[in-house]
Structure formats: C-alpha cells, structure tokens
C-alpha cells in the first residue's frame, strides 16, 4: 500500500553517530540481529576510519496501532567529498532525520546537508544523539537546533545510539510526521536511480526509487540520460540482503539486476523507465559528477600499467565519481590523470587501490582544473601543469573558487582568519550561532585548500573547527607555471601552477627541500626553480670528490694543478652523460612543504 510506505534518510556531520543509530533502528524493527560493529558500513575502510563512504539503503517493517508500515532508510555519507551521493539520496526521500551530537552541537556539514534537504521540501525530524554521554549538553544543543530550523522544542527527540534510548519515539515520528510518497501508480514508470554497486557475478546492480508507475520482473527498461535499454532480469527490495519480488509498486525503493557490464552506462541521478510505455521527461536534478581535484597516479613498476588500468576500471564501477585518463611523464613513465571530488576521496581511492588490488602507486602533487584563455578568446581546460601553453600565448587564466563555511568556537577566530587570509580568502560574513560558536564564510581559491588547508585548520583549532565548501564558479587570477630544473632539465612531475605572489617563496622552499633529499653524485647538481625563462631560486648539491692530491708531498704547485685539471675534465665529461634520479621521497616531500 502506497500510503503505508515511508522513505527517509539520515543527515549528520561525520562522527555524530548516525550509523550506530541506524543499527538500533534495524535492531528494534527486527530487520537484523546486530553482531557487533556497524552493520551498514560494510567496507573495511569504512569500519576503520569510522566514516560512511557509500550510501546504503535498507528496508524495515514496523507496526503501529495495528497497521503495518514499510520504512525505507537510506543511510548517507557525512563527509563533504561525498555530497553528490547525499544529494541523490535526499531526492529519493520524503523526510530526513537530522542527527546532532549532544556533546558537539551543530557543525558545518550538518548545515550544508540540511539546506539541501530543505530545498527538496523534506520533512525534518530533529534528533539529539549521544544523550547518555556524561559531557552531553542537550539543552544548549536543542537551542541551536531551534535557532537553525525554527521548530518547536517539543518536536526534538532525545536519543542515544549506544543504549537504544528514544528509538521507539523516532520510529513513531517517522510514521506520523513524514508524508507517504506522492505519485501516480497508473502513470508510465518513472524511477530515480540513486546508487549503483558492482557485483562480479551479476554486473552492475542499480538502486532506484519509483516516483510514478510500477515495474514488473522481466519488463524491458531504459535509462533516459544514457539511452541504453535492458531487460529487468530480477527486481526486488533491499533488506540486509537482496530479496527478489515479482513487482515493485509506486513509492517503493528497490534494486534491478539486468546484466549491465560497463560502469558508464549507469549514472547516479538518471531516470529509469519502461521501453514500451516510456515517461515523457526525466526526473529533474540529474547532473554529471564534476571532479574538483586532479592528480597523476603512476605505477611504481612500469610493467604494472595495464594492471593499474584494470584496477581503476573496477574501482570506478563501485565509485562513479572517480574519473581517469592515460597520461605520460618523462620522470615517472606511463600512468593516469585521475579526477577526485576532494582530498579525502583521493586518499580513499589510493588506499583502496593498495588494499583491494595490491597496487603500489605514486601520486603527484594534487591540483585543480584551470581555464586558460588565449589571445583569440578560445578557452581550454588544463588539469596538468605540463599541459599549460606558452606564457606568451595566454591572455588570462581563470581558477575555480569555493564558498567555504567554517564553524568554530570564538577563541580560535584569530588564527583561523589568519590562515584563510594566507590562502587568499575573502571574508563574506560572520555569524554567531549560539553561545560561543561562530560561523565564518569565506570565498577562496580551490587550489589553495587542496594540499594542507584542512590539516592546518584542525591543528590550529585543536580539532574544534568544522569545514564545508561548495563550488562557486571561476574567477580570473594571476597564475604562473613554476618549473623545477635539475642540471637544466625540467622535471615535469614536480612542476606546479601557483599564484604570482607565492611563486618565489614556494620555489625557494622547493629547492631547499630537494637539496636535502637528492643523493650526492660524482658531479655538481644544480637545482633551479624557474618561471618561463627566468630563474627565481637556485641550490647546488655538491659533488663527491676523491682526494687526488694525497700522493703529492712537497714539489712544485704545477704538479698539483695538473692532477686537479685532469679531475675537472673527468667531472665535466661525467656531468654530460650523468643523469639525476629523483627519489620517491622527493615527490612526497613536495606535498608536505610547510
């Protein structure tokens, strides 16, 4: 029955206990017997880091006042890098549980995901979690929630994922406050694909929510945005495992298996319909995922190139937001230029390549994509400093900006402002949320926060600042390409695009760092930082020499000169044929320049 279905998701900041609370809901409705640990976070990485990376969907049965209800819970990631997954999950729901930690209060991520939910007109049920903790402050946190969404104080449910307090109230509220899905069961099928997973035996399995119409097993279906057609071999609902059914009706959440082999044919946010009676238009809000950060990924052993390609393709099936294309570098050989949603996403992909596919890879300095306009006004996107055209041909360069929001306590405002200004940020506004909590909003270049901004923010605020951002268009900027030359030869893997004001200090620091890391050779190594043809910094790694004068004692100075001249000639010849190997440590050190 459509009126007895409730679809809802959970919105929370990282580590506010949403996966634990979800487990309690599943346990209470007897969907699963919890064996310990998070049941929905099934990836090893998710368990170790305590974060949710993929969205998960699960169905619960619940009885209230003698009526049976079907509750579909879609658990969403809390981290900023996975916000596209969150937006799709929100679009598939009619309500959301807003979970706030009673010990930490409202944080930046919560606010950004909350606004997303409000834009989709979801019914919000506020919950204060971790009320059993000795340092919980439910009163103050309730004040913050009332300020934030303007609800009544009595609407806020106090709960604890650990002890199971308040779980029954939450389930009651879900049934009573969240509306049933609206949709026409007689209309042509129109379903929103909100996630897909890869199964090595059955191909790609897409998760969807039916907005209008219904779907029967064996019907032929098509994806509107990709235009591909398939037969629905098996459809069903998602309990802890997949449970197949003959038919899915309007408002339900389910999965479809249709033997799809390639990842690119299923896009999250696409619309699914039947081929014999297709719907007129796709569900609004579909967008291609745009990577924000780019980095080169190279195998350490060159013969592993094909294995790396296969590993990345398999990983892409499970993680649609990863993009990659082949590229080559003089220093590192063949590899791929990969696009990631953010730094955490990049770290997770690297970690998964290592664990799931045993791939040892080198990652180059992460950078963002720039738009370069030449003198004729033609625009090209550059993801890699090596692809930058000659300085004389460029009219101007535009770089991506972000709108960042930092929530912190008042005693850290000074250092955080200094950090943001150092990263070329402009303060837009400053709001006091409640008590001593303040929200700072900045407009900043994405390239500046890519390397170490988040770590610095956490350390200067002793972990008390939360950070969230979204893209805010492109703006013209004075960028230059900084090359590192070793004995006059540019090392392409070390070149970076940087702002004119930072170029000189950055170049000098890189030269000093490389001087420490390059092993000494039999000849001098000149390390230079250059912008175009202009050298802006130089360091020299001194040569190792044999003491050729040891056998001379006394005698004329010309005998010593002769031996030294002979050595000098040898060194000069050696320098012409010698090449400088850049150790792996040096590439990593550039990432950690401080």
The dihedral formed by the CA atoms of 448, 449, 450 and 451, expressed in degrees to the nearest 10? 90
Hey, how many other C-beta atoms are within 10 angstroms of the C-beta on 337? 20
Between residues 576 and 490, which one has the greater pLDDT?
490
Give 207's strand partners. 195, 255
Between residues 141 and 48, which one has the greater pLDDT?
141
Hey, how many other C-beta atoms are within 10 angstroms of the C-beta on 571? 15
Tokens read off for 241: 């495992």
- CA 576 to CA 573: how far, in whole Å? 5
Which of helix, strand or coil describes residue 111?
helix
Question: Out of 14-23, 298-307, 511-520, which region has the weakest mean confidence (pLDDT)?
Answer: 14-23
Give 71's strand partners. 6, 60
* Per-residue confidence band for 168, with pLDDT thresholds at 50, 70 and 90: confident
Return the pLDDT at 53: 47
Return the pLDDT at 51: 52
DSSP 416: H
- CA 57 to CA 236: how far, in whole Å? 12
565 near 573, Cβ under 8 Å?
no
- CA 262 to CA 515: how far, in whole Å? 47
DSSP 503: H
* pLDDT, tens only, 95-114: 888 888 877 777 766 776 77
Tokens read off for 322: 């990863």
Tokens read off for 175: 């049934």
pLDDT for residue 276 is more than 80: no
420: left (phi over 0), alpha (psi -120 to 50) or beta: alpha
Return the pLDDT at 438: 81
* Per-residue confidence band for 520, with pLDDT thresholds at 50, 70 and 90: confident
528 near 515, Cβ under 8 Å?
no
The angle subtended at Cα 407 by Cα 403 and Cα 408, nearest 5°, is 140
pLDDT for residue 451 is more than 80: no
- Distance between terminal CA atoms of the chain? 60
Return the pLDDT at 11: 79
* pLDDT, tens only, 529-558: 888 788 888 888 887 778 878 888 777 888
The dihedral formed by the CA atoms of 16, 406, 480 and 583, expressed in degrees to the nearest 10? -40
* pLDDT, tens only, 133-161: 787 777 778 777 777 777 777 878 888 77
Q: Whole-model pTM?
A: 0.64
- CA 272 to CA 555: how far, in whole Å? 94
- CA 253 to CA 256: how far, in whole Å? 10
- CA 363 to CA 193: how far, in whole Å? 33
pLDDT for residue 260 is more than 80: no
Question: Out of 40-44, 192-196, 308-312, 456-460, which region has the weakest mean confidence (pLDDT)?
Answer: 40-44
Give 470's strand partners. 403
Interacting residues of 154 by C-beta distance below 8 A, sequence separation 6+: none
**Helix residue spans in 261-304 (DSSP H):** none
For tokens 């150092």, the residue is 422
Query: Average per-residue pLDDT in the chain?
Result: 77
Strand order in the sheet with 361-363: 323-329, 333-340, 293-299, 361-363
Q: What's the per-residue H, E or C state across 128-148?
A: EECCCCCCCCHHHHHHHHHHH
415 near 460, Cβ under 8 Å?
yes
Determine whether 150 is exposed, middle or buried from the number of CB atoms within 10 Å of its CB (0-12, 13-18, 19+): exposed
Question: Out of 40-54, 258-272, 569-583, which region has the weakest mean confidence (pLDDT)?
Answer: 40-54
Between residues 511 and 319, which one has the greater pLDDT?
511
Return the pLDDT at 285: 61
For 216-228, give the DSSP string.
ETT-EEEETTT--
For tokens 């901004």, the residue is 453
Q: What is the mean pLDDT of residues 418-427?
A: 84
Tell me what percent of the residues of the chain surpass a pLDDT of 90: 0
Between residues 81 and 559, which one has the greater pLDDT?
559
Between residues 263 and 474, which one has the greater pLDDT?
474
Provide the CA 565 distance to its chain's centre, in angstroms: 58
* pLDDT, tens only, 489-499: 777 777 777 77
Q: Sign of torsion, CA 527 544 561 574?
A: negative
Query: Burial letters for 232-269: b for 16+ Cβ neighbours within 10 Å, e otherwise?
Result: bebbbbbeeebeeeeebbbbbbbbbbbebeebebbbbb
Q: Tell which residue, 18, 25, 19, has the closest CA to residue 165.
A: 25
């Amino acid at each position: 029955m459509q009126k007895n279905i409730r679809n809802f998701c959970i919105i929370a900041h990282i580590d506010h206990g949403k996966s634990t609370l979800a487990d309690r809901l599943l346990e209470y409705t007897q969907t699963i017997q919890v064996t310990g640990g998070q049941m929905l976070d099934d990836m090893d990485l998710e368990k170790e880091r305590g974060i949710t990376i993929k969205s998960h969907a699960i169905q619960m049965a619940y009885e209230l006042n003698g009526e049976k209800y079907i509750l579909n819970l879609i658990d969403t990631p809390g981290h900023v890098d996975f916000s596209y997954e969150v937006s799709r999950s929100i679009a598939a729901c009619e309500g959301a549980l807003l979970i706030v930690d009673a010990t930490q209060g409202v944080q930046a991520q919560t606010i950004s995901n909350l606004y997303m939910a409000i834009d989709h007109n979801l019914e919000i049920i506020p919950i204060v979690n971790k009320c059993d903790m000795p340092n919980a402050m439910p009163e103050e946190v309730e004040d913050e929630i009332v300020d934030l969404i303007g609800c009544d104080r009595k609407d806020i449910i106090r709960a604890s994922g650990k002890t199971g307090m308040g779980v029954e109230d939450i389930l009651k509220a879900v049934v009573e406050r969240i509306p049933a899905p609206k949709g026409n069961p007689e209309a042509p099928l129109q379903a929103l694909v909100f996630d897909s997973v890869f199964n090595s035996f059955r191909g790609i399995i897409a998760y969807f929510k039916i907005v209008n119409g219904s779907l029967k097993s064996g019907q032929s279906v098509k994806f509107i945005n990709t235009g591909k057609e398939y037969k629905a071999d098996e459809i069903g609902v998602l309990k802890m495992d997949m449970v197949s059914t003959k038919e899915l009706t309007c408002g339900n959440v389910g999965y479809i298996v249709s033997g799809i082999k390639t990842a690119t044919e299923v896009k999250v946010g696409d619309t699914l319909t039947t081929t014999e009676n297709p719907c007129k238009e796709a569900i609004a809000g579909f967008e291609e995922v745009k990577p924000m950060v780019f980095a080169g990924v190279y195998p350490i052993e060159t013969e592993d190139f094909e294995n790396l390609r296969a590993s990345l393709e398999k990983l892409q099936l499970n993680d649609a937001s990863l993009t990659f294309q082949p590229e080559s570098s003089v220093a590192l050989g063949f590899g791929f230029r990969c696009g990631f949603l953010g730094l955490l996403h990049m770290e997770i992909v690297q970690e998964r390549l290592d664990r799931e596919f045993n791939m040892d890879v080198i990652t180059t300095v992460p950078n963002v994509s720039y738009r370069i306009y030449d003198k004729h006004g033609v625009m090209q996107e550059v993801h890699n400093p090596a692809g930058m055209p000659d300085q004389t041909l460029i009219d101007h360069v535009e770089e991506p900006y972000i709108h960042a929001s930092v929530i912190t306590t008042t005693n850290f405002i000074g250092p955080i402002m200094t950090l943001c200004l150092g990263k070329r940020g402009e303060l837009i506004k400053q709001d006091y949320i409640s008590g001593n909590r303040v929200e700072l909003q900045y407009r900043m270049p994405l390239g500046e926060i890519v390397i170490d901004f988040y770590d610095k923010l956490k350390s200067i605020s002793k972990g008390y600042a939360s950070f969230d951002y979204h893209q805010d268009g492109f703006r013209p900027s004075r960028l230059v390409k900084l090359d590192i030359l070793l004995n006059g030869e540019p090392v392409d893997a070390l070149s970076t695009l940087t702002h004119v004001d930072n170029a000189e200090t950055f170049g000098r620091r890189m030269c000093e760092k490389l001087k420490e890391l390059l092993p000494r050779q039999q000849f001098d190594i000149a390390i230079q930082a250059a912008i175009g043809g202009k050298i802006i910094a130089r360091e020299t790694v001194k040569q190792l020499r044999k003491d050729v004068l040891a056998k001379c004692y006394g005698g004329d100075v010309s005998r010593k000169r002769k031996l030294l001249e002979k050595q000098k000639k040898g060194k000069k010849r050696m320098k012409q044929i010698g090449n400088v190997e850049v150790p792996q440590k040096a590439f990593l050190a550039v990432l950690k320049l401080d």
